[in-house]
Amino acid sequence: MYQAGWSRAEIEVEPDGYAMFGYGMWHHRARGRQTPLFARAVCIGDGAQRLIFCCADLGSISYALRTSVCEVLRERLGGEFDEATLVLTCTHTHSGPGGCSHEALYNVVTPGFVTPHLRAVVRAVSDAIVTAWRSAAPTELKLYQAEFEDYVPVAWNRSLRAYNRNPDVQPRGEMDRHLAMDRTMHVLGFQRDGTVHALLSLFGVHATCIGNSLKNYDGDNKGYAAAHAEQRLRDGGAADPVAIFAQATAGDISPHYHGPGDWQRRKLIKGAAEYAYAERNGRAQSDRALRMLAEQPGDPIDGGIDAIFGYADFTDIKAEPQFAGNDDACTSEPCHGVSFFAGTPVDGRGMPPLLAALSRTIAGFIKRRRLARLGQFPQAEQDYYRRIYAAQGPKAILLEAGRKTILGRPLTAIALPDFVDPSTAELKRQARLGAIDESPLVPTVLPLQIIRLGALAIVCCPGEFTTTAGARLMQSVAETLQPSGTRRVLICTYANDYMGYVTTNEEYQEQCYEGGHTIFGQWTLAAFQTRLTALAREMLKPATARQHDRTTRPAPIPPAELAKRSDLPVPA
């Protein structure tokens, strides 16, 4: 039996007009509060080690957030706190506060980094963790799993053409998009005296029931699921219940119907109906979790706690042939494709189709010209072009985030006039001001983590994994950890940082939205498999014998540049 505790704390962020994180839309600004936002935490100890799992009602986790939380926990918990045992993840609601990262790109619409937002989130996360830590008491843990019935309208695959490219899936038709996904929910139940007091659910579906036209903070489907489950647990006798609904393979999974007539159906869900729709979706997730707890005996979880954690630079990883299928598969500097900026057809549309088509034409022209004249460039340029085009494959590159160019031109020279798009105008303004000269646009040095509870392992990854990408990663890690007695491997995404998407190589070739946002190229999944199986092999060794990289970290953001894009005035 473990010593476990749980708690939650409200994220007290004022809705004062800064843009919310998720849709990347200039107009998507917070003016009110529909539901409270929370950080929910559980702490599990085995007498020698303590594991912390905290999930916040946010769109993403940032390096700035994680490091700030670690600083507070070291101060409040002392030497017992071990960074490797902290899983910090989020629900990925698109109706939560933005401006919580130091990297520039995903903060452009906020605009910029917002100090009060980060402080409020750090305070809530830290308070929830410390309370959970200090309230630990004997607790029985059990693991449950069950699929959603086919008729439950909880999720659909939004990139079916890409999904069907995978040789390891059953191809699905347009009317079966709800089956082109992993419909299994896993739940870890925390019981005392036969009563469930807390739960941790892993199930992948985007928290985008609420679109980008509304102005209120809201936990979306995962937040409603947590609130509903906590009330049900309270009714069942739990005094201070906590229900965490975290994400698994949500990358290509939408909470909105996809299929014939999908856009017409989506247009009917507007305004207050979007909040009601999010609540219905969340209730479906809550009901599925609670039925498992009530109807199944569950598999007892016991055994030691273990964790391994480190960072890796994803701009130059050579993937192992067993995962990539060839000997020359490498990642590259981050590049965003036109399909990323074009958005998704139902969840969130981006640039107009005509502009997207023109951008693809220009991107293709730039690629052909560069490669045709390769010998005319300096050696460093030649190496760079060979590297990005080999890694990025069929992607129509609009933004070279590493070099900070759009369609081959510096950010200050973007051809689009300022009055056409305020987001572009803000990006140009920051570039002209010298606010991002040395600052990265997106994270490139990424956290990788595996945690173990007895025979259960959870792979914790930054970003958004598609259904099949996550399945392959879990299989790779499971095969590696098998000698240790690990019988089950799950995945938690959006963990510890955020850098975009991870598709399979086959899905990447289709260049749907997810492939356009797989920024390190077509071998990104193979790179994750390479590095995480290496961590898993180290995990087979005694803790004192492990030799994984513990020193690599993202480079510090230049304080002078960060100051130029921090706490900017809220647009009218």
pLDDT digits (tens, 9 = 90+) for 297-315: 999 999 999 999 999 999 9
Beta strands in 70-227 (DSSP E): 86-90, 96-97, 137-147, 156-157, 184-192, 195-202, 216-217
The per-residue pLDDT for 192 is 96
The per-residue pLDDT for 418 is 79
Same domain, 380 and 477: no
The count of residues in the chain is 572
pLDDT of 405 higher than 90 = yes
The per-residue pLDDT for 419 is 76
pLDDT digits (tens, 9 = 90+) for 5-35: 999 999 999 999 999 999 999 999 999 999 9
Same domain, 123 and 93: yes
Same domain, 305 and 319: no
pLDDT digits (tens, 9 = 90+) for 231-253: 999 999 999 999 999 999 999 99
pLDDT of 345 higher than 90 = no
Residues 215 and 30 sit within 8 Å (Cβ to Cβ): yes
pLDDT of 572 higher than 80 = no
pLDDT digits (tens, 9 = 90+) for 188-228: 999 999 999 999 999 999 999 999 999 999 999 999 999 99
- For range 505-515, the mean pLDDT: 98
Same domain, 131 and 156: yes
d(Cα 107, Cα 112) in Å, to the nearest integer?
5
Same domain, 559 and 522: no
Of 254, 256, 232, 255, the C-alpha closest to 243 is: 232
In this structure, is the dihedral angle defined by the CA atoms of residues 484, 4, 286 and 125, taken in order, positive or negative?
Answer: negative
Would you place residue 416 in the very low, low, confident or very high pLDDT band (cuts 50, 70, 90)?
confident
Domain range spanning residue 347?
Answer: 311-443+555-564
Same domain, 239 and 91: yes
Same domain, 431 and 514: no
pLDDT digits (tens, 9 = 90+) for 445-481: 999 999 999 999 999 999 999 999 999 999 999 999 9
Number of structural domains found in the chain: 2
**Number of helical (H) and strand (E) elements in the chain, helices listed first:** 16, 27
The per-residue pLDDT for 414 is 85
Same domain, 488 and 413: no
Of 246, 231, 235, 188, the C-alpha closest to 2 is: 188
In this structure, the strands spanning 343-344 and 348-349 are: antiparallel
Position 319 in a domain: yes
Position 571 in a domain: no
Q: What residue has token string 């309230």? A: 135
Same domain, 508 and 428: no
